[in-house]
Copies of this chain bind each other. A is one copy, B any other.
Amino acid sequence: MNNFTFYNPVKILFGKGQISAIAKEIPQGARIMVTYGGGSIKRNGVYDQVMEALKDFYVLEFSDIEPNPHYETLMQAVDIAKRQQIDFFLAVGGGSVIDGTKFIVAAMEFEGEDPWDMMTKRTPVKKAVPFGTVLTLPATGSEMNSGSVVTRVSTKEKLAFGSPLTFPKFSVLDPEATFTLPVRQICNGVVDAFTHVLEQYLTYPVNAPLQDRMAEAVLLTLKEEGPKAVQNPQDYDTMANFMWAATMALNGVIRPGVPTDWSTHYIAHELTALHGIDHARTLAIVLPSLLRYKSEQKKEKLLQYGSRVWGVNSGTEDERLEATVEATIAFFESLGIQTKLSDYEVGEDTIDTIIERFEARGVKDLGERADIQIADVRQILTMSL
């Protein structure tokens, strides 16, 4: 097992009715900005529950944070919040609203010229305004981690930052808040969470059996509960299990002491930045090719994953490796998520563009062994055509 540091101070309030508990978690007298997206929270009752819970606070609303939240939009929120002396934020929505709010709280206290430097120059966050979240879409895990991904429209860049200062103070996970989700978003959420686990699991063995089994526990839960959630999105227990699994997929619990490989996310972000393809779908495009391309290097863990999650136990080693990738693809496609670039009408010219962008940005050494270079990215994407 590798050395590690684990720290996650997010308080989780899980279950029906928990939105009403948020007032106790926010400092008395706080001036709150409630951030949200396109307004689905007004149709499913979450907005009303939040406003009722906050009725004794000063509340300002900032809506229309888009999927893959835009730097340009978020900077407007920063501007308004500074003028209104906001000192607490409440993100109500899915990963985009939460990621966007993490950017806002850090940008509020940023002391340099442009908070975008947190992404491009890795300028560290030194201070941030506290915030909480009310989650409405199980998927990204952002409700219980400190990471954030933001898109800059002007440059078509989608980049990440994070800091111990951008953990939410609390997150409410009420499965009932997911009951009106469109099927498309549920499917995306299952694939996003499933991929998060695989990126912390499909590397090489370091004799960490507990972390392996915990990762498999999340995978098996998503495998079983995901399709049920699509069929029956108003079944409380199903949505509760899906919701908790998606949070546990990326809150650090399965990650300590093991290598990780975030290259799927890194490459896939380009497809969203360039073509606006749903985040989860871009993962489903990149991951299978990456696994096939690196199957020799990831062999031990791929075979374990195939056996323990998909029951792939017969055939030669090569056959089992391929059957494991096929099982993963079949799972994604059973959720209506296609896995080829051509399914999204994206062709070779996009691969050229991504390679050019990576060359300009100086990307190298992706993967758990730092052995995925730009030329390998081209190969992987070509396999996904």
- State whether A4 touches B14 (Cβ < 8 A): yes
Which single residue of chain B is at the shortest CB-CB distance from A243? B1
Interface footprint category on A: 35 or more
Q: A210-B241, A221-B209, A241-B209 are in contact. Are A5 and B1 (CB under 8 A)?
A: no
Tell me how many chains of this kind the complex includes. Answer: 2
A217 to B216, CA, bound (A): 9
- What 0/1 pattern do residues 1 to 43 of A give for CB contact below 8 A with B? 1111111111111111110000000000000000000000000
Which B residues touch A248, using CB under 8 A?
Answer: 210, 214
* Interface flag for A190 (CB, 8 Å): no
- State whether B13 touches A5 (Cβ < 8 A): yes
- State whether A237 touches B14 (Cβ < 8 A): no
Which B residues touch A9, using CB under 8 A?
Answer: 7-9
Which B residues touch A216, using CB under 8 A?
Answer: 213, 217
Instruction: Among A3, A7, A211, find the residue whose CB has the most chain B CB atoms closer than 10 A.
Output: A3
* Interface flag for A244 (CB, 8 Å): yes
Q: A209 contacts which of B207, B214, B225 (Cβ < 8 Å)?
A: B225
Q: Report A144 CB to chain B, min CB distance, Å.
A: 9
Which B residues touch A16, using CB under 8 A?
Answer: 3
* Interface flag for A60 (CB, 8 Å): no
- State whether B237 touches A256 (Cβ < 8 A): no
Q: What would 13 A/B residue contacts be, using CB atoms closer than 8 Å? A: A1-B237, A3-B15, A5-B13, A6-B14, A9-B9, A209-B220, A209-B225, A210-B218, A210-B245, A210-B248, A214-B214, A240-B257, A253-B253
Nearest first, the 3 A-B pairs at minimum CB distance are: A3-B15, A213-B217, A9-B9
